[in-house]
Every structure is written in structure tokens, then in C-alpha cells.
Amino acid sequence: MKKKSKKEDVKLKFNSSWEYAPAPESKDHVKINSSYDLFINGKFTAPDSGKYFDTINPATETKIAKVADANEKDVDKAVKAARNAYDNVWSKMPAKERGKYIYRIARVMQERARELAVIESMDGGKAIRESRDIDIPLAAAHFFYYAGWADKIDYAVPGSKSRSLGVAGQIIPWNFPLLMAAWKIAPALAAGNTVVLKPAETTPLTALKLAEIIQEADLPPGVVNIITGAGATGAALVNHPGIDKIAFTGSTDVGKIIQKSIAGTGKKYTLELGGKAANIIFEDAAIDQAVEGIVNGIFFNQGHVCCAGSRLFVQESVMDTVVRKLKDRMETLIVGDPLDKNTDIGAINSKEQLGKIKQYLKIGVNEGGEMYQSSCALPSKGFWCRPTLFTNVSQSSRIVTEEIFGPVLGIQSFRTVEEAIEKANNIPYGLSGGVWTDKGSKIFKVTSQLRAGVIWANTYNKFDPTSPFGGYKESGVGREGGLHGLMPYLELV
Amino acid sequence: MKNDSEMDSTEKQKTKTLNGVQSNGQDSKGKRIDVLKTYKIYIDGKFPRTESGRYYVLKNKDGDILANVCQSSRKDFRDAVVAARKAQHPWASRSAYNKGQILYRIAEMLEGRKAQFISELSDQGLSMAAASSEVAQSIDRLVYYAGWSDKYQQVYSSVNPVESSHFNFSVPEPTGVVSILSPENYGLIGLVSTIAPAIVGGNTVVALSSSAKPLCAVTFAEVLHSSDLPAGVVNILTGHRSELLSHFSNHMDVNACIYTGDNAADIKKIQENASLNVKRPLIYSKDNWMDDSSQSPHRIMDLQEIKTTWHPIGQ
């Protein structure tokens, strides 16, 4: 199938004329210990379990460091430290002083941005261009934004007094490790809560670096605790009776388990779950710009993005043009060393995730989808997936109804605005969406009818600390970012 | 108008027949016999009996039968959800002004039928004073939420000063279809207090009345029916909470479930069931429904989702 489509299309040979010399980011200035303990009550503490696990570089499959595996006793210790800090220090501190601590975190993160970016790319496989220009600056910006809210909470809830909740247990995914830590910790602290955070087991390093930064900022012990481990650690945190609020970002399946397991406990929760976003291209869109948006929508961060534009809807009249241009553009994408500044698509985060993606590629082909992959060379070691698209898929195909979390795009066509909206909404997810047209009134017709929490018009995958993010339907509950992101960390009195 | 006059003639016909019966009765002075009301449920703008054919007997404190009340089934609930889903988008698309006027209209209709509600509440055990204050508060609460119709969006929306060149704004939108287990201890105010904030925000609802005090719920449906509220926006069932609680909370096409009360096992059940489709479970345990503290724009926002839109500037 791949060969056939190559013959039919006239192609520019981008690869032969655009050779890039390697441009690797240096690792010299980065300090990584060989072993990391748990960050509890302001100190790095050996785990009660005595166990450690390896975190590897998915681009080379080599071990970077070993990291403590927190068990129930460790979780209990962390929650108690957070409770103590909440009761005796953080909730009693004047709000403006709390804010100044959060500002400090933002500033130190900016100072150490380059180191953080390199570690993020080493540990998670994402292209340095993205960790350097997006993840780390946005993470610092989140702290800076919410720092200012600390002494202005009364303005956040109109007509009512509010107060902090207590101890927040926070569980974050591996796709934007430091950024997700910032999304969770910054609003929680600004609203006056203390925190126990668990990073994902494949990407714990930047969270542990953040622990160092928190030490450097001299935050009172116990206000932020960072414990590493896998699913069992997360479950222990969710089920700990000393937690007042759970904030979770991850899959819808796990989100449902969490929602069920805290039923009847009175714990509050925010869930930021899966997605299968529609990216809708109308015939009157600026097509070249739209193609860039499609690429950014699905191949950004190897497609490991909950709001990825993984379902492409193209108006029938421009279908052939869009698909041809998209295939041409995919040929130019550079897949390889995450630390190389020219790399567009880095390594798949883990062997497990690569297996899942490959499984879906098989399902797509077996269901009758027509698969196209770029012809780029892949490194011999590490976990890689070529940018992939499927045509000839139907509304019920699994590859366009289930979240793949990889660089895999399913393309469908439509004729009318109404058809596009109906197809886009025909899914249990509702996190995000995109619309491409030069007609302003059409933008608003579509954006107002898509049942999703974030809609991008003539752009995609843009984020900002002031901009609320979160899902409708099975994509989650609550918002993170902006004014609305404070609410989940407050209760009305 | 034509329908009205037809209804008039039907009414006349009924009265005539009853008078005829009466004239054959024992009371030679011709004392009129009351026309009793059949209390039915309200689905998709119609008043069917429960499909199950089941009923329960409601008595006053003297043991007299007040009504044979429909004991609604899971199937009734599912039918009502279909109606609510169908009505949701058109209802949400009505202008805020229009929705506000319809809520206000409901208050007007309720005001006009105060006497009937007071009598039903007192039949179900309330003192006249308590009944009349519950009805008055219900009317006022509808007016309160009618007024929020075109205002809560302004209070809870934001324009977000993002770094890139985009006009970025966040607005509330309705969560969707809401199931409501209305308060057991109130016949009217509980129902009004849970339905009004849901529909003023563009949601559609399926509500279960108090099983001990169901009469006003049915009569309230008649009020809704004469207030230009489109069919399916509010659906009201009577029956037993214990039987329907699971269905109200586990239906996959319901987006939020309101529970009123403080039964720990019920609350746990609802929250567990909600996880099946990441439903929003809302637990109102501490309300004194007669008090103004039970009304708030936050109750509207409990049933709203925030949508953020990024619109390009200068392209």
C-alpha cells in the first residue's frame, strides 16, 4: 500500500536536498545523581520499601538513574508531612508570603531551564526543541501565574468566601512530566493547600529536580512532597484517608477507577483524562497553514498528548489535496535523537507504549484502513514510531474511536458543517478540538457546538497558564489553568 | 385557541356526566361530587401513566386515599432520558433572554395556581402556614433563577491574557442531561430548587419526586406544561427512590446526577455508578431548602462545563 501511493503521488525530495548535520544539545552541564530517594518533609529520604527501580532513556535504552519505589508506609509518611505542614505552617502563613515562595520556584526554574529541558528529553524521549521551548518555559510560567493569585483568592470566587481544602494527592503522567507537575502544584499551593505528588514511573527525574528547586527556594518542609513509584504507589495515595483532594491526569480507564475508589469518602477530585480530538479542515481554510496545524496536532510530542488532534476531518472537496500535502510534509519530519535540535519527533516514551501503538497499527490495517508512514530511517536502538496516517476509516473503526497516544492519525471526510459537527461529537471523549477556516462566523458556529473543553481555531496545541484546560464527558472533570483552575482547590464556606 | 375551546367542551362534557351521575345519587339537594385528578408522570411533554402499570397508594394522615401514584420503572426513566437528550441542544440554543422569560413564566403560572399547591401540600401533612410559605418560596426561587439566566455567563466567563497572538476566552456551557433525586422531605420547594438551576443553564432534566409527597410534582409538571417550556426539557417521574437510584446514576447518556439527602450508602452508590461514564455526581446533603442559602449561582455552575476557545488575531 505504501509503495503504491508513492508511485501515484508526485513528490518533492525533501530529504535529499535538506540534509542536516547533527546538532546535539550538550549534556555536560546536567547533574543527575545515580540514585534518588523520596522527597518527604523537605528531605530526600530512603524508602521504607528499600526498593528502587531504574529509569531509562527511551532513545538509547540505557539506564539514567535508579529511583525509590514508595510503598504504603512511605505514602503515609508523605501525607502526614503534608498534613503537618498544612495545619501548622502553610494555612497559617499570610497569603502574600505564600505567593512569594511560589514566585521563587518560578524564578529558579527559569534559571535552571536548560538543565531541566535536557533531563526532560533524556528521561522521556521528547525532542529538545519542545522541552526547551514549550515544557519548561510553560512550567515556570504556571508557577509565576499562580504565585500572584495567592493573596487574591477572594476575587476568584464571586459572591462567596472560600477556603483551601487541605492536603492534595496529585498523580501525573509521563507525557509532559515537569509541566504537569507545575499544573498540579502551582494552583494547589496558591489556594493554600499542601501537596503529595507522584510523577509517572517512566519519567520521575524532572519532578525530583523540582524537589531540589523547592529545597533551594526554602519552602517550609512538607508543603510539597514528591514520591516516586508505579501504579501501586498511586493507588496508596488515592486511598489514603488523610487526603482531601485527588488531582489526576492520565487515561480515562484509570480515571474511572479513581472516581470509583474514592466514592463515599468525601474526597474532592479533578480528573484530566483521555481524548480523541477532532481537527476539522474546511475547504476555505488556508490549506498549507492547516497542514502545519494537522502535523502539530498529531505529531507534537510523538502524539503522546491527551488533546492531540488524532481524528482529522477534511471537507471532501479538498481531501485529496490535504492528504497529498500532508504526506509530503510528513516526509520532511525528522525522527531521531531527542537531544538533537533538529529533531521533530523523538522517542516513544516506553517499550510498553510502543507495543500499544504497534497493536493499534495492526488493528487499523485489519479493519481495512489504508496505512501510510513516512519513509524516514529510524535509529537502531530505542523506541520509535514513524509518523503514520490512516485513510479509509469509518466512524466505528477502533483507531478513530480509541485513544492511541502515539503519532497515528485517522482521516475521515465530510460535506457539510453539520456533518462535521455531528461526527466530531460522536464519541465519549470531549477534551479538545480544532477548526480550520478563513470564515470567522463559521469558526464560531463550529466552536460553539463542539462538545469539548478546549477548541483551537486556525491553530492547535497551544497552552498558556491563563487559559483553562479540561474535558467534557469522559475526558474528565474540572479545569486546570487560569482563574477556573483555582476552583478545584477551594471550597465555599 | 382551538385546542383551548376543545378542552373547554371536554371539561363541560365531564362535568355534565358527573352531574348526571350525581342526580341519580342519594343527595337529593344536588350537592356536587368532585372530579378527582389522576396523577400521572411527565415525559417528553406528555402525561403518560408508567409503562409498568404499577402504582402505590398515597393516603393522608386520616388514612383517606389521596391518589394512586405511578410507580415509575427503569423503562420510564430511560424513555425520559431519550426525551431529555433530544430536547437538550435545542433548549441550550434558546437565547438566555428567552430561557429567563420561560422560567419567569413558570413562576407566574405557579403563582396563579397557589391555592392548589397549598391544598396538596396540606393534604400531605403540612400546616396551612407551612404549605403557603413553601409555595411562596418556590415561586420566589423560580424568579431568582430566571434573573440569573443572562447573568451567570458574565460572572463566570473570562477573557484570558495569553502570551501568543490569540483572543482566548472561557465560557460556561451546559453539562447536558441531568438526573435529579429531589428531596424526600419536601413536595415542591426541593423539586424547584434542583430543577431551576439546571434548566436555566441549558441542561435538560429527569427528576424523581419525593415518594411520600408526590402530588405537587405532578401538578408542577402541569405548570411547566403551560409555561412554553419545550417538551422534554423537564421530565418528572414519581416512584420509589430505592428502586430508581441506581438507574438514575448509572445511565450512560446522563451527564450529571443530583442527589439530595444524607444516606451514606446511597451517596457511595451514586458516586461509584457515576464513574461508569465520568458522570458529575452532585451531593446536596446539608440544605435547608426553605432557606435562601439553598439558592446560588454556584448551583448553576455545578452543572456547567467551561469551554475555552483560542481565536487567532491578525491572520
DSSP annotation string for A409-461: EEEEEESSHHHHHHHHH-SS--SEEEEE-S-HHHHHHHHHHS-SSEEEES--S
The backbone torsions φ and ψ at residue B307, rounded to the nearest 5 degrees and listed phi first, read: -105, 130
Q: Tell me if residue A491 is catalytic.
A: no
What pLDDT shows up at residue B24?
Answer: 46
Contact (Cβ atoms closer than 8 angstroms) between residue A143 and residue A106:
yes
Interatomic CA distance for residues B247 and B252, integer angstroms: 10
The CA distances from residue A218 to A113, A186, A221, A408, A493, in Å, are 19, 16, 8, 44, 31
Residue A352 burial class via C-beta count within 10 angstroms: exposed 0-12, middle 13-18, buried 19 and up:
exposed
What pLDDT shows up at residue A354?
Answer: 98
What pLDDT shows up at residue A16?
Answer: 58
- In one-letter notation, the amino acid at residue B209 is S
Which of A427, A425, A423 has the alpha carbon at shortest distance from A413? A423
Select from A468, A477, A479 the Cβ nearest to the Cβ of B280: A477
Residues A118/A124/A128/A129 CA torsion (nearest 10 deg): -140
E strands, A330-399, are 370-373, 388-391
Using the predicted structure, report yes or no on whether residue B8 has a pLDDT greater than 80.
no
CB pairs under 8 A between A and B: 118
Question: What order do you get walking across the sheet with A62-68 strand by strand?
Answer: A35-36, A62-68, A52-57
Give the pLDDT mean for B26-55. 90
**pLDDT in 10s for each residue of chain A, 493 residues:** 444 444 555 556 655 556 789 999 999 999 999 999 999 999 999 999 999 999 999 999 999 999 999 999 999 999 999 999 999 999 999 999 999 999 999 999 999 999 999 999 999 999 999 999 999 999 999 999 999 999 999 999 988 899 999 999 999 999 999 999 999 999 999 999 999 999 999 999 999 999 999 999 999 999 999 999 999 999 999 999 999 999 999 999 999 999 999 999 999 999 999 999 999 999 999 999 999 999 999 999 999 999 999 999 999 999 999 999 999 999 999 999 999 999 999 999 999 999 999 999 999 999 999 999 999 999 999 999 999 999 999 999 999 999 999 999 999 999 999 999 999 999 999 999 999 999 999 999 999 999 999 999 999 999 999 999 999 999 999 999 999 999 999 999 8
What pLDDT shows up at residue B54?
Answer: 98
Which of B158, B78, B148, B73 has the alpha carbon at shortest distance from B303? B148
> Which residue does chain A place closest to B176, by CA atoms?
A473
Interatomic CA distance for residues A353 and A406, integer angstroms: 8
Chain position carrying cell 532513556:
A57
Q: Nearest-5° angle of CA A48, CA A49, CA A53? A: 125
Map out the domains of chain A as residue ranges: 2-21+275-457, 35-273+472-492
Residues whose CB falls within 8 Å of the CB of residue A3, separated by 6 or more in sequence, listed in order = none
Q: Tell me if residue A385 is catalytic.
A: no
Interface residue ranges in chain A relative to chain B, Cβ cutoff 8 Å? 141, 158-160, 252, 255-257, 259-260, 262-264, 271, 273, 428, 443, 447, 452-459, 462, 464, 466-470, 472-477, 479, 482-484, 492
Q: Nearest-5° angle of CA A477, CA B197, CA B296? A: 90
Using the predicted structure, report yes or no on whether residue B6 has a pLDDT greater than 70.
no
E strands, A22-110, are 35-36, 38-40, 43-45, 52-57, 62-68
Catalytic residue among A120, A272, A403, A474: A272
Whether chain A has a CB inside 8 Å of the CB on B169: the answer is no
Q: What is the least distance, in Å, from the CA of B2 to any CA of chain A?
A: 37
- How many residues comprise chain B? 315
Residues whose CB falls within 8 Å of the CB of residue B280, separated by 6 or more in sequence, listed in order = A477, B175, B255, B256, B257, B274, B302, B303
The CA distances from residue B158 to A482, A484, B307, in Å, are 9, 9, 10
Using the predicted structure, report yes or no on whether residue B20 has a pLDDT greater than 70.
no
Catalytic residue among A130, A306, A403, A474: A306
The CA distances from residue A74 to A27, A115, A188, A236, A332, in Å, are 32, 29, 22, 10, 48
The β-bridge partners of B65 are: B59
Give the pLDDT mean for B10-17. 38
Q: Which CATH superfamily is domain A35-273+472-492 in?
A: Aldehyde Dehydrogenase; Chain A, domain 1 (3.40.605.10)
Chain centroid offset of residue B23 CA: 41
Q: pLDDT tens-digit profile of B110-123?
A: 999 999 999 999 99
Looking at beta carbons, which residues of chain A come within 8 Å of B269?
Answer: 263
CATH topology for the A2-21+275-457 domain: Aldehyde Dehydrogenase; Chain A, domain 2 (3.40.309)
List helix spans (H) across A86-163: 95-111, 113-124, 128-130, 136-149
Interatomic CA distance for residues A146 and B206, integer angstroms: 39
What pLDDT shows up at residue A10?
Answer: 57
What is the separation, in whole angstroms, between the first and last Cα of chain A?
A: 63
CA torsion sign, A3 to A8 to A14 to A17? positive
Contact (Cβ atoms closer than 8 angstroms) between residue A132 and residue A355:
no
Residues A116/A122/A125/A129 CA torsion (nearest 10 deg): 50
Interatomic CA distance for residues A220 and A215, integer angstroms: 9
Contact (Cβ atoms closer than 8 angstroms) between residue B159 and residue A464:
no
Interatomic CA distance for residues B61 and B65, integer angstroms: 10
Select from B275, B296, B308 the Cβ nearest to the Cβ of A469: B308
Directed axis angle between helix A205-216 and helix A177-190, to 10°?
Answer: 40
Which of B8, B223, B42, B40 has the alpha carbon at shortest distance from B117? B223
The x, y and z cell numbers of residue A228, run together, are: 516516586
Chain position carrying cell 509517572:
A200
Which of B180, B179, B193, B181 has the alpha carbon at shortest distance from B263? B181
DSSP secondary structure letter of residue B62 = T
CATH 3.40.605.10 fits B70-312, yes or no: yes
Share of chain A residues as helix, strand and coil, in percent rounded to the nearest 5: 45, 20, 40
- Backbone dihedral region for residue B291 (phi beyond 0: left; psi -120 to 50: alpha; all else: beta): beta
Task: Return residues 255-314 of B near A (CB < 8 Å).
Answer: 255, 264, 267-272, 274-278, 280, 296-298, 305-312
Select from B155, B278, B309 the Cβ nearest to the Cβ of A455: B309
